[in-house]
Amino acid sequence: MELPEPMLAGLLAQQFDARRIGYLRSFPDAEYFVISDRDVAVGRIVVAIEEAVAVSRDVARLEPGAARQCRDGQALRIIDIALLPAARGDGVGRAVIDGLASVAKQMNVGRLTLSVQSSNDRARRLYHRLGFVELGGEAYRQMTKPVD
């Protein structure tokens, strides 16, 4: 069933507002950025610094000594990232993650963290190729990557 354009626009606006309010509640210090490629907006990303105590405990099971490596007990959390379909598969996502790792290193933050839907195989494969490790979860897989 297709929705009439005004109804669809209203529904999308409600979803956007619900997500924005949810992020504000869960991540009040989050930063919002537009991702551009050759001066054309191709996506968006939401990030925040988070305490990495829980992440460190999980990582320590997989990487001995990793909990001690989390500088200042913080991680750069990728709360949300989305690219337009036309921008996928061209290295934009890889460049964004690499850029975030560089920023985290400059900020003296030891890890990148994120959650990804278990069903999002394409994103999970990308994150694995970029050095992220899955820590668990069912509907959403928790992932982390040390900043080298």
Q: Which of 113, 13, 101 is nearest to 59 (CA)?
A: 113
Look at 24-28, 47-51, 61-65 and tell me which has the smallest mean pLDDT.
61-65
Read off the pLDDT band of 136 (50, 70, 90): confident
Q: What residue segments make up the domains of the chain, in order of their start? A: 28-146
Tens digit of each residue's pLDDT (9 = 90 or more) over 78-132 = 999 999 999 988 899 999 999 999 999 999 998 999 999 999 998 899 999 999 9
**Whole-number pLDDT of residue 134:** 92
Q: Which residues of 16-26 are buried (b: 16+ CB within 10 A; e: fewer)?
A: eeeeeeebeee
**Rounded CA separation 128/125 (Å):** 5
Answer whether residue 64 shows pLDDT above 50. Answer: no
Band (pLDDT 50/70/90 cuts) for residue 47 is: very high
What is the band of 53 on the pLDDT scale with cuts at 50, 70, 90? Answer: low
Q: What is the pTM of this model?
A: 0.78
> How many angstroms separate the CA atoms of 126 and 89, rounded?
10
CATH assignment, 28-146: 3.40.630.30
- Quickly state the pLDDT bin for 51 (edges 50, 70, 90): confident
Percentage, residues of the chain above pLDDT 70: 86
Residue 3 corresponds to which tokens in the numbers above? 């929705």
Per-residue confidence (pLDDT) for residue 85, from 0 to 100: 92
